[in-house]
């Protein structure tokens, strides 16, 4: 923000902040583009629609200037949440957007008494593993040939925020 002589501020284009909000069906065109560029076996539009419609899902996007940069989707039951999908558009990776999505989502669902988080990540996806580890996720197991299109194993990761 720029300081004016009369002590109020005017925003500059560089001051526009990232917004994290609930995912909507009208976001899906942009989300599907990111999904296709992010995964070997991307989710279909119908998979996204079903997840958005599910009463046990929490789905968020991060946007800047009305452009969707990434998204996170999870299911939660009782005190557990399972991160189903997280992606940032390739043009915006390495800028902290995935971290912002995780931070926002964990803090949001913890208020609903969720304290255990789980996810699967490709064994070869070292960048994602580093990201999750930064938040305190630990590898607790492996699912053999979990990713059927490549027969790659998935690491099961867990985070407990129980007090």
Walk me through the domains of the chain, giving residue ranges and CATH numbers. Answer: 17-160 (3.40.630.30)
Residue 145 has, within 13 A of its CA and on its CB side, a CA count of: 2
CB 48 within 8 A of CB 32: yes
**Is 147 among the catalytic positions?**
no
List pLDDT tens digits, range 110-156.
999 999 999 999 999 999 999 999 999 999 999 999 999 899 999 99
**Is 120 among the catalytic positions?**
yes
The CA-atom distances, in angstroms, between 2 and each of 7, 19, 107, 148 are 10, 21, 31, 53
Q: Single out the catalytic residue among 49, 132, 147, 152.
A: 132
- Give the distance, in angstroms, between the CA of residue 153 and the centroid of all CA atoms in the same chain: 21
CA separation for the pair 72, 61 (Å, rounded) = 7
Q: Single out the catalytic residue among 35, 71, 97, 120.
A: 120
Put simply, whether the predicted model's pTM sits higher than 0.85 gets the answer yes
């Amino acid at each position: 923000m720029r300081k004016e002589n009369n002590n109020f501020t005017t925003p500059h284009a560089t001051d526009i902040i990232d917004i994290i909000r609930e995912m909507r069906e009208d976001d899906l065109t942009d989300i599907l583009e990111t999904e296709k560029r992010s995964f070997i076996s991307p989710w279909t539009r119908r998979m996204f629609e079903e997840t958005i419609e599910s009463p046990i899902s929490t789905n968020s996007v991060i946007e800047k200037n009305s452009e969707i940069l990434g998204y996170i989707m999870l299911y939660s039951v009782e005190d557990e949440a399972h991160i189903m999908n997280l992606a940032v558009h390739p043009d915006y990776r390495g800028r902290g957007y995935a971290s912002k999505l995780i931070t926002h989502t964990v803090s949001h669902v913890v208020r609903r008494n969720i304290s255990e988080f789980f996810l699967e990540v490709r064994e070869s996806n070292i960048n994602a593993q580093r990201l999750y580890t930064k938040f305190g996720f630990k590898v607790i197991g492996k699912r053999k040939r979990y990713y059927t299109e490549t027969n790659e194993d998935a690491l099961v990761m867990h985070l407990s925020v129980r007090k």
